[in-house]
Amino acid sequence: MFENIGEMVVLFWRTLMAVPLAWRQRQKVFDQFFEIGNASLLMVCILSFFIGGVIALQTGPILVERGLASAVGGLVGISTCKELAPVMMSILIAGRIGSAMAAEIGSMRVYQEIDALRTMNINPIHYLVLPRMLAMAIALPLLVIFSILVSWLGGAMVSAANNRIDISFPAFFMNLREVVDLADVGNGLFKSFCFALVIGVVSCHQGLVTRGGPRGIGRSVTKAVVNSIVLIVLFDYILTRLLLK
Amino acid sequence: MNGSLSQNGGVSVEVRGLRRSFGAQEVLKGIDFTVKPGEVFVIMGPSGSGKSVLLRHIIGLEEPQAGEILINGKPIGSPEVMDNYRMAMVFQSGALLNSLTVGENVGLYLAEHGLKSPDEISQIVAEKLEAVGLKGTENKMPSELSGGMKKRVAIARALVIEPQLILYDEPTSELDPLSAVVIGEEIRDLNDRIHVTSLVVSHDRDLAFGVADRIAVINEGRIIAMGTPDEVKGNPDPLIRKFLHADFKRLNES
């Protein structure tokens, strides 16, 4: 385990050192960015709408019964933007994109494509890891912004449609605006940026250390997703504690 | 392996006392040989004798545990070698990047190192593909090619580097006899045209005796014979004779 952590730290550092070369890899960054967005947007939309809706449904009736109807919008707003959108979207992306990254790089490793790159003096970190990390670091926060907005919409629609909550759209968003400020959204985006780096490093590392044939690739994919999720939850706690006002 | 594309002509390769183990298994047990500039040197041996591991050391994909490899007298991996000499390897599987087209694979080295404009790269790619008999396949994906075509694309990709040393790992494995002859002719032709040093690892006896200037026979991590094809053919060592003359009839008799 410690060997893996050490290798991931080294991989992250080498990728960081390669960032000045990013402009040369811009087409690959764009391709990866499109892949992440294209593959995830619909899922993000569905997931976020129902996350917002279910929080409103779980908390709304209880708050309304206690005369706290004005708190529903704020509760949905703050919980989705600071916690649920960044974490849930990161887990979704780890499963959807991290697994694909580990599988692609892993299969390149197994079928000697990475060796072929090295014999052409093409650094696999510059060619494979850097574009994926950059695309992930840009795409995940953008998906989280989208997720926050859709989850707010889901919460507002459920609050308006459910008889036991019955809060109008304007009232929901007015309350949300009173509780949530830009710093809260920034907090969620910063977390999602960190989670993007975690997913990128873990998935690319698992791909690069793949051994064996198809079974090895399958093992790497599983490890990439599971390790990413564990680290996302771990980093979530650490970052939440550090960013606590 | 650099991007200057400055020097031409083959390089010499010297392997001295090369040893390599994986866990408790010693795969290379002290390998010594020299390949002269512009020579076609074939390393023959049965499967699992350490041929491919040896090749991976020579191209720098593996670090020797003992011994050294010198390119024109300078240690492999040193900045002098990396900056001054161009080497390419044709992998057993071809190792084409499956997500790229044939044209992108062949032009990858030039594109990634920013050595030529896209138009010039297209022109060079077309020339190299034509040289290996695959004119007009630029837009195909590797998955659409046969095993022999993939190997020829891999040779075209190696040629783009304008190498001074080409390493071939089992270039005729999995190929039908006709495709194997085409690949063999390609190796010989390149050697005659651009005087590149060629190091071929193979257990294909026909290929070895057809293209080699000199042959080394490796068995269980040691070189057991070395010389011209005629010298190796005439070697009295029973192991070499058994390897060179193994056929179905003999196996049935024994």
A to B CB pairs, distance under 8 Å: 52
Residue A11: how many CB atoms within 10 A of its CB? 20
Strand order in the sheet with B13-22: B25-35, B13-22, B66-71, B74-75
Q: How does pLDDT run across B181-225, given as a tens digit for each residue?
A: 888 888 888 888 888 899 999 888 888 888 899 999 988 888 888
Which residues are within 8 A (CB) of B198 and not within 5 positions of it... i.e. 6 or more apart? B39, B40, B41, B165, B166, B167, B168, B187, B190, B191, B211
Could you tell me the CA-to-CA distances from B15 to A121, A213, B30, B71, B205 in Å, in that order?
Answer: 22, 31, 9, 9, 23
B110, burial (CB in 10 Å: exposed 0-12, middle 13-18, buried 19+):
buried
Q: Give the number of other Cβ atoms within 10 Å of residue B235's Cβ.
A: 18
The answer, for B143 touching chain A at a CB cutoff of 8 Å, is no
Of B60, B87, B95, the CB nearest to A116: B95
Of A54, A42, A98, A52, which is closest to residue A77 (Cα–Cα)? Answer: A52
Distance to chain B for A223, nearest Cα, Å: 24
**Which of B:53-112 have CB within 8 Å of A?**
56, 59-61, 82, 87-89, 91-93, 95-99, 108-109, 112
Cβ pair B112:A113 closer than 8 A:
no
What is the rounded distance in angstroms from the CA atom of residue A41 to the CA atom of residue B220? 56
Token pair belonging to A239: 């970052």
pLDDT per position as a tens digit, B35-81 = 999 899 999 988 878 888 899 999 888 888 899 999 988 888 788 88
Residues A121, B2 contacting (CB under 8 angstroms): yes
Position B117 confidence tier, pLDDT thresholds 50, 70, 90: very high
Q: Check CB contact under 8 Å for B99 and A121.
A: no
| Cβ within 8 Å, pair A119-B87 | yes
| Percentage of residues in chain B having pLDDT higher than 90 | 31
Provide the residue type at B46 as one letter.
P
| Contact (Cβ atoms closer than 8 angstroms) between residue A114 and residue B108 | no
Q: Which string of DSSP letters, residue by residue, matches B127-143?
A: HHHHHTT-TT-TT--GG
- Per-residue pLDDT tens, chain A, 245 aa: give them: 778 889 999 999 999 999 998 888 899 999 999 989 888 899 999 999 999 999 999 999 999 989 888 889 999 999 999 999 999 999 999 999 999 999 999 999 999 999 999 999 899 999 999 999 999 999 999 999 999 999 999 999 999 998 888 899 999 999 999 999 999 999 999 999 999 999 999 999 999 999 988 899 999 999 999 999 999 999 999 999 998 86
Distance CA B75, CA B57 (A): 12
| Chain A residues near residue B157 by CB distance under 8 angstroms | 120
Q: Which residues of B touch A119 (CB under 8 A)?
A: 1, 59-61, 87-89
| pLDDT value at residue A227 | 95
Mean pLDDT of chain B: 86
Residue B254 has pLDDT above 70, yes or no: no
Q: Give CA A127 to chain center in angstroms.
A: 23
CA contacts within 13 A on the Cβ side of A182:
0
Q: Which structure tokens are listed for A77?
A: 């707003």
Whether the complex's predicted ipTM surpasses the cut of 0.90: no
Interface contact A108-B97, CB threshold 8 A: yes
Task: Quote the radius of gyration of chain B (alpha carbons, Å).
Answer: 18
pLDDT value at position B7? 47
Q: B-chain residues within 8 Å CB-CB of A116?
A: 89, 91, 95-97
State the amino acid at position B107 in one-letter form: G
Which residues on chain B are in Cβ contact (under 8 Å) with A18?
none
Q: Exposed, middle or buried: residue B59 (CB in 10 Å: 0-12, 13-18, 19+)?
A: buried
Secondary structure of residue B69 in the 3-state scheme: strand
**Facing B89 at nearest CB: one of A104, A113, A119:** A119
Query: Do B89 and A127 count as a contact with CB atoms less than 8 A apart?
Result: no
Torsion of CA B48, B49, B55, B61, to 10 degrees: 60
Residue B1 with chain A: CB contacts under 8 Å: 119-121
- DSSP one-letter code for B97: -
From the list A118, A122, A113, A136, the residue with the least C-alpha distance to A40 is: A136
Per-residue pLDDT for B4 more than 70?
no
Question: CA-CA distance, A96 to A110, in Å (whole number)?
Answer: 21
For B:111-130, CB contacts with A below 8 A are 112-114
CB-closest option in A107, A118, A127 to B61: A118
Say whether pLDDT at B179 is over 80.
Answer: no
A136 to each of A129, A209, B65, B148, B200, how far by Cα in Å?
11, 20, 39, 38, 42
The answer to whether the Cβ–Cβ distance between A120 and B88 falls below 8 Å is yes
